Structures are given as C-alpha cells and as structure tokens.
Amino acid sequence: MTSESARAALLASDGPTILDALPHPVLLVAPDGVIESANMAAEIFMRSSASFLRRHPISEFVPFGSPLLTLIDQVRERAAPVNEYKVDIGSPRIGAPKIVDINAAPVADRPGAVVLMFQERTMAEKIDRQLTSRGAARTVTSLAAMLAHEIKNPLSGIRGAAQLLEQSVVDDDRSLTRLIMDETDRIVRLVDRMEVFSDERPIERDPVNIHVVLDRVKSLSDKGFARNKRIVEIYDPSLPPVYANKDQLMQVFLNLVKNASEAIGDDPDGEIRISTAFRPGVRLSVPGTEARVSLPLEFCVQDNGPGVPDDLLPHLFEPFITTKTNGSGLGLALVAKIIGDHGGVIECDSQRERTVFRILMPAFTEGGNPVSDLNSRGIE
C-alpha cells in the first residue's frame, strides 16, 4: 500500500487514529469534492465536527474561487503531490484570515481522491515574533542598566542646581528653572520605566484564575480610561488556572485594554472584546526547562478601531515603537517581556475594524508545573 493509500485508509477508518495525534489539520476529499474524513485537528480548524464535515463538499467551507480548490484540481490533473505556501483560505465559516501552507497529494488507489494537510502560518510566526520580542527585551535590559548609572546621577545634579537657581532668579525667569526640573523629572520617569526590563529575578508564580484578573481589569477600565467604551466578555468558564504572577498579568491586560480604548477613540460604535479559550496544538520550550510544553490557554483583547499600520505590525513589540504622539513605545515591549518570562507567546493580528492581541500561555497542574499534555485537563 502506498503512503497516500495508508493515509486515506487511516482517515476513512472509524474511531481515533494516529492522524488525530497530529497537530496539523488533515482532510480526505473524495472525487466528487465531498469531505470524506477529517482528523481531530481538522475539526478544530474547520470549526465543525467530523460527522458534519463528511456531509458537505470542501467548496462550502472556503470562498468562491479559493486557491485551495484550484490546488485540488491541479493534483487531480497531474496525479502528483503539490505544495503551496501562504494561502489564505479564510471564510466566515472557518474564520478569517486563515493563512496556511498546504500539502496536497493524490491517493494512488482512488483516482480523484486528494489528501490535504494544512500548516497554519501563524504557528511558526508566533514563535518568530516571540523570539524577536525577547531579543528586543534584552536590548532594552542592557540599555536600561546603562541609563540608570550614566544618566540618573547627572540628572539629580541638574535638578538640584535648578532648585538653587530658582531661589535667586527673578519671577520672570522662574518659569525656566521650573521647566528644567519638570523635564528632568520626566526623563527620570522614563528611565525608571526602562529599569523594569533589567529585573532578572525569578518570577513568583501561582495558579491564577484568569477571569478574576480580567474582571478586575474591566472594573478599573470602566471607572477610568474606558468609562465610555463598550467592553464585551466572552469567557470559557472551564479553563484551568494559568501558571503566572497575578500582578504582572494585571499590568499586561490593563496595558492592552488601554491601547484598545485609545485606538477606538471617540467612535460611538467602539467596542473592546476580551475573550478566553482553550486552544490545543501549540508547543514551545519555556525558560528553565528543556521540556516542550503546550500553551493551551488563549487570552485575547480585540478592538474595532482603525488597525495597526502594516509597516509597523512586524515591529510592534520592539522598544520605542509607537503610533502615539506622546508615547514612549515601551508599553508593548514590556508586555512582550512579561509574557516571554512566563513562557508564553503574544502576537497581533490587525486589519481595519479588527485588531486582536492574542496571548498563549501554559496552564497549571497540581505539581506546580505548566501543563504538558491535553489529558491533564481531562481532554481525550
């Protein structure tokens, strides 16, 4: 039996198969275009059960004229495997956007049948962005240590001299000495914010109920910077605790919600969505261990503002990158450092009226370690 036939046989069989262990969606498309079988990852990806998928053609799940349909036709014509990269197969049914690499292969014993495997581009990009964010945090760490020593001490002397001058100058010049002191204080505050990056002490972590944190964030936001904004909560109440520092998570989500509020501005239809969900399939090496752990907990902050400019998006978590007139560009860099220190991943997907900051983090087990497999949550 050929490898394509073996894959087709596994997909067509009833009950759990070895393909269900794969993190990538795999579909078997019959000669008439109907989905004949799907593994567990495909069910999650397509947002439908295998029994539902088996009753419908693949064309009902992708946009009209989708490159995926053309790819299937090419495989049938050539009777040979075809690979395609960075294909958008997003649709209202399966979610948009969905950028994937596609491996399509014919089934030798069944003319016209095609096996499809999708690899989401976002999975690799999450890792790349995380590494970039950690590198950016290390850059700020070195800069902060230098600034604390080389700048704060001279600034103290400058401020003291301005205070002495204020006592001897005439009233008309007193505003200038006050300007010197105010600007000196502003620079010190900026350096203090940067010094947070140089804190390399181990994080004190405990099992944290993320919904308690998010409820507190919403309460503070409603009374402050987002008092006139609509905040929608979409929570999965069955989530296990996240293994994290509660205060640092508060800082992360207050920052993200504040950014979302500022992005919306005075739009009367402005809306911020905070959501939690369980998303199996992503595994990363976390600091302090050689083991690869799953990051099944997904926390999102979404707004319907104008979106992030395309040229800024790849550098969003780097220090000193900002679209705000008076922004320091350190807020999201600090968010990236905190999430990275927790062994998590943060990314941003942005288009007009839909900007999503997505955080993936490890869960907590009784042994005090991050969850390393799905069965620790009782998922079979």
Question: What is the tens place of the pLDDT at every residue in 159-195?
Answer: 888 888 888 888 778 888 888 888 888 777 766 665 5
pLDDT at 212 > cutoff 80: yes
* Residue-level pLDDT at 211: 95
Alpha-carbon distance of 326 to 355, in angstroms, equals: 22
Mean pLDDT of 93-101: 72
* 293 touches 284 (CB < 8 A): yes
Domain ranges of the chain: 3-121, 124-198, 206-377
Q: What fold is seen in the domain 3-121?
A: Beta-Lactamase (3.30.450)
E strands present in 180-227:
206-208
Alpha-carbon distance of 380 to 200, in angstroms, equals: 38
Torsion of CA 172, 178, 180, 184, to 10 degrees: 180
* 113 touches 173 (CB < 8 A): no
Domain covering 206-377 assigned CATH 3.30.565.10 in the classification: yes
Q: Which residues pair with 117 in a beta bridge?
A: 26, 103
Whose CA is closest to 141, among 201, 185, 218? Answer: 201
Our separate counts of H helices and E strands in the chain read: 10, 14
Kindly tell me the sign of the dihedral angle through the C-alpha atoms of 36, 38, 43, 47: negative
* pLDDT higher at 155 or 27: 27
Please name the amino acid found at residue 87.
V
Q: Which residues pair with 104 in a beta bridge?
A: 82, 116
Place of tokens 């109920």: 209
Q: pLDDT tens digits, residue range 268-292?
A: 888 999 999 887 655 555 444 455 5
Place of tokens 């649709």: 91
* Residue 226: pLDDT band with limits 50, 70, 90: confident
The three-class DSSP label of residue 88 is strand
